[in-house]
Amino acid sequence: MFLLVLLLYRWAIVIPHFTNEEVKKQTQLESAYTSGGLKRILFWTPFFSGTSLKDVGLTEEGDGYQTFCPYRCKFTTNKNLLHLSDAVLFHSRDLQTNGVNGLWESRNIPETRNWTQHWVFYYFESAEYTVVPLNAFNNVFNQTISYRLDSDIYAPYSRLLPRSLEEINNYARVSETIKKKTKMAAWIVSHCVTKSKREDLVAQLKKYFPIDVYGYCGDLECPGNRQISCYKEIGHTYKFYLSFENSLCEDYVTEKFFNALNAGMVPVVYGGANYLHHAPEGSYISVNSFNSTQDLATYLLMLDKNQTEYLKYFEWKKWLKVDEISMLPRAWCTLCERLTVGSFPKGRVVQDLNDWWFHKQGTNSPACSPPNHQLLDY
């Protein structure tokens, strides 16, 4: 009797009423998932409404096995395996809440939990566009995964890696490719009105040189049927890419920056992050380094005419390259590693998720800044 009470307390589960057939099916499931001693990771919420492993960057075969990852875990979206999972993942955009008299409570999370599990909050959009009231989830999660540097698992949209000695020796100089570029600047965009007012910045720059706008907010169609192939195609033609974020938030640098670097364009960046955390000085041009859009335009036009100076923005490519592994699989690999080696601190709870997410690290300052009105010539 004591053993039964102890087990119920440990697992903290409500015993449901199953038919014999349901018990048989559940036993088969548990048997299949308890072999091998691998850690199990359950995606509890959808990912932007996607409910398959493919939607979170994993393969359906082999429980989401990732060949590049030195650690192996079992990934699943099957909620029947909740109490057999070592970690349970919750995507912020797909969390749900109820609000009554200004008080918020969470809705679509399990009513009970195994307290040996790690409940993990993950999100890759900026705090400016976080629509779920996160104070409903204070003291709920054990770990966080996001683009923020102070996340438990830091998951940038991409990263630069050192080239191998063989790659350095075989590196082809980019000057011949650069000489073939005939156009000034491109911008791929589908979010037309933003918190950062990047659209106003583009309008200001258009006074000084032409900017070709691709996508939903422009009048040009992106070549290629995938975003990455689109960047590669326009990279053959354009010298600069406007890597302007939709919000100016701490650490927030999206894939557009890395896609431009990878495609052989110089990113002109407008964001709230310290870009030196992501790429070396001299690989990009920061809007915030200039007092006005006119000063920025003058500098870009100088580079357009001076090939020697322009080519200096590609010197980093001999030593570094953009990681080929995308953000989601890389994040899941790190989570799998932490679970496997047991490096997560025991008993940790994110006490104030709302405060952490909406403020800069260790301060009371908002995580996101307003647009630079002086730069926008308001």
φ, ψ dihedrals at 160, nearest 5°: -100, 140
By the 10 Å C-beta count (0-12 exposed, 13-18 middle, 19+ buried), 372 is classed as: middle
Which of these is catalytic: 21, 30, 125, 255?
Answer: 125
CA–CA distance, 349 with 143 (Å, rounded to integer) = 7
Q: Are 277 and 149 in contact (CB under 8 A)?
A: yes
Q: Are 195 and 247 in contact (CB under 8 A)?
A: yes
Start-end of H helices in the chain: 2-11, 20-33, 165-169, 175-179, 198-205, 227-235, 255-262, 293-305, 307-311, 327-341, 353-358
Q: Please indicate whether residue 199 is annotated as part of the active site.
A: no
- Can you say whether residue 129 is alpha, beta or left, with left for phi > 0 and alpha for psi between -120 and 50 degrees? alpha
What does the DSSP 8-state code read for residue 193? Answer: S
CA distances in angstroms from 206 to 143, 199, 200, 239, listed in the order given: 44, 11, 10, 15
Q: Please choose, from the candidates 145, 239, 150, 109, the residue with its C-alpha nearest in 3D space to the C-alpha of residue 186.
A: 239
Beta strands in the chain (DSSP E): 40-43, 74-76, 87-91, 97-100, 103-106, 118-123, 143-146, 153-154, 160-162, 183-188, 211-214, 238-244, 248-249, 266-270, 285-286, 320-322, 368-369
- Can you say whether residue 347 is alpha, beta or left, with left for phi > 0 and alpha for psi between -120 and 50 degrees? left
To 10 degrees, what angle do helices 227-235 and 255-262 make? 40
Question: In one letter, which amino acid is 127?
Answer: A
By the 10 Å C-beta count (0-12 exposed, 13-18 middle, 19+ buried), 11 is classed as: middle
Catalytic residue numbers, as ranges: 125
